Amino acid sequence: MGPMKELTTKLLVIGAGPGGYVCGIRAGQLGIDTIVVDFQRAGGTCLNVGCIPSKALIHAAEEFEKAMHFSKGDLPLGITTSAPKLELKQTIHWKDTIVTRLNNGVAGLLKKAGATLIEGRAHFKDGKTVAVESETGTQIIRAETIVIATGSAPVELPFLPFGGRVISSTEALALESLPKTLAIVGGGYIGLELGMAFAKFGTKVTVVEAEQKILPLYDAELTRPVTRRLDKLGVKLLTGAKAKGLSTKGDALLVTTADGKDDKIAADKILVTVGRKPVSEGWGIEEIDLDRNGRFIRVDDQCRTSMRGIYAIGDVTGEPMLAHRAMAQGEMVAELIAGHKRSWDKRAIPAICFTDPEIVSVGASPEEAKKLSPEVKVGLFPFTANGRAMTKIGEEGFVRVVARADNHLVLGIQAVGQGVSELSTAFGLALEMGARLEDIAGTIHAHPTQGEGFQEAALKALGHALHI
Q: Which residues pair with 238 in a beta bridge?
A: 208
For 105-163, where are the E strands, in sequence order? 116-119, 121-126, 129-134, 137-148, 152-154
| Sheet-wide strand order for 351-353 | 351-353, 358-363, 410-417, 397-404, 376-382
Strand 152-154, strand 276-278: pairing: antiparallel
Q: Which of 53, 58, 91 is nearest to 176 (CA)?
A: 91
CA neighbor of 253 nearest in space, from 239, 263, 261 = 263
- Concerning whether 447 is annotated as a catalytic residue, the answer is yes
C-alpha span between 391 and 183 (Å, rounded): 35
3-state secondary structure of 111: helix
Q: Phi-psi category of 15—alpha, beta or left, where left has phi over 0 and alpha has psi -120 to 50? A: left
Q: Which of 408, 445, 447, 464 is catalytic?
A: 447
Q: Which residue in 96, 121, 117 sits closest to 108, CA to CA?
A: 117
60-77: b (≥16 Cβ within 10 Å) or e: bbeebbbbbbbeeeeeee
Q: What CA–CA distance (Å, rounded) separates 65 from 48?
A: 25
Catalytically annotated residues:
447
